[in-house]
Amino acid sequence: MSDSQHFLLDGEEVPFTPGQTVMQAALSAGRYIPHLCYHPEFKPHGSCKVCTVKAGGRTAASCTLPAQSGLEVESATEEMNALRRTLVQMLFAEGNHFCPSCEKSGNCVLQALGYDLGVTNAGFRHLFPDRPVDASHPDLLLDFNRCILCELCVRASCEVDGKCVFSLSGRGIDKHLIVNNASGRLEDTDIALDDKAVAVCPVGVILKKRVGFALPIGQRRYDARPISAQALEDAPRPSTQGPCNACEDAP
């Protein structure tokens, strides 16, 4: 398109349309920027900072950085990936993540991102937070120990499901996920198995009961293909020949 606008990502031109962020434009163009809390169905808000890039000599979260003509963005550099590895290591150290015994193993975005970035250990002293497990609901289990504070379940429950079942409480190191009602128990909410909030959790916090390990480890989403390939496959892309299948199929 002659009137398209471009910015540079690691020295290569990436087209964008006005209103897109650097992350959105990159994924639409088939260029992967590592990310964790970004989801194509929700307005980006930069919770985790894993998608940090250097733009114009300054660091910024690419999921909230507006694409601009002439912008020079660095992403696939050792400096940026080292920063991302540190952020992922901190998330592993701050929560209780025991991948070999987790039902979400192979479907976990945090785990897959760790593999993609070459993270082999937490790198920090584990905090082992004392967070409860809520098994009160007949069909769902909440393991707060694995929460990474991405806020996707909070936003999905309010913006899509219209129920606002979840919320975040506290500040700083004490910030944590809660069930947003007087009892603080999931059984006292109207959450349903088909709610978007149940499906959107990137880690093993919200789990369906009685279906554990129904799909064997080794045959799961990120077992066969790395997260970078999955993210590009899921990215919404413009089409001039009909509906955007990727937009319809994105989780």
With CA atoms as reference, report the closest residue to 140 among 222, 204, 97.
204
Q: Sheet of 5-9: strands edge to edge? A: 12-16, 5-9, 72-74, 52-55, 58-61
Whether residue 86 is contained in a domain is answered as no
Total domain count, the chain: 2
With cut-offs at 50, 70 and 90, classify the pLDDT of residue 107.
very high
Residue 94 domain flag: no
Query: What CATH number corresponds to the domain at position 44?
Result: 3.10.20.740
User: How does the average pLDDT of the chain come out, rounded?
Assistant: 90
64 and 131, same domain (yes or no):
no
Q: Are residues 63 and 169 in the same domain?
A: no
pLDDT at 168 over 70: yes
Cα 75 from Cα 51, distance rounded (Å): 8
Single-letter amino acid code for the residue at 170: G
Whether residues 6 and 117 fall in one domain: no
28 CA to centre of own chain? 17
- Asked whether residue 33 falls in the same domain as residue 118, the answer is no
Give the span between the Cα atoms of 116 and 79, in whole angstroms. 16
Other Cβ atoms less than 10 A from the Cβ of 211: the count is 10
Q: Are residues 70 and 8 in the same domain?
A: yes
Burial class (CB in 10 A: 0-12, 13-18, 19+), 201: buried
Q: Residues of the chain with pLDDT > 90: what percent?
A: 75
Please give the C-alpha separations between residue 250 and each of 12, 140, 230, 235, 243, in angstroms, as whole numbers: 26, 23, 10, 7, 13
Residues 202, 152 contacting (CB under 8 angstroms): yes
Verify that 35 and 117 share a domain, yes or no: no
Task: Report pLDDT digits (tens) over 15-52.
Answer: 999 999 999 999 999 999 999 999 989 988 888 999 99
CA distances from 12 to 6, 28, 215, 239 (A): 9, 14, 40, 22
How far is the C-alpha of 55 from the C-alpha of 5, rounded, in Å?
A: 17
Rg (CA), the chain: 19
Q: What range does the domain containing 40 cover?
A: 1-76
CATH code: domain of residue 137: 3.30.70.20
- How far apart, in whole angstroms, are the C-alpha atoms of residue 141 and residue 207? 5
Task: List CB contacts of 36: < 8 A, sequence separation 6 or more.
Answer: 48, 50, 51, 88, 91, 109, 110, 113, 148, 150, 202
In a domain, 237, yes or no: no
**Is residue 250 in a domain?**
no
Question: Do 195 and 118 belong to one domain?
Answer: yes
Q: Note whether residue 236 is domain-resident.
A: no
- pLDDT of residue 203 exceeding 50, the answer is yes
* Residue 33: both structure tokens together: 């920027």
Interval 109-161: pLDDT, tens:
999 999 999 998 889 999 888 888 999 999 999 999 999 999 999 999 999 99
- Position with higher pLDDT, 117 vs 238: 117
Question: Are residues 142 and 61 located together in one domain of the fold?
Answer: no
Both 71 and 141 in one domain: the answer is no
Burial of 125 (0-12, 13-18, 19+ CB in 10 A): exposed
71 lies in the same domain as 157: no
Residues 136 and 211 in one domain: yes
Domain identity same for 107 and 71: no
How far apart are alpha carbons 149 and 108 in whole angstroms? Answer: 14
Q: How confident is the model at residue 164 (pLDDT cuts 50, 70, 90)?
A: very high
Among 61, 76, 91, which residue terminates a domain?
76
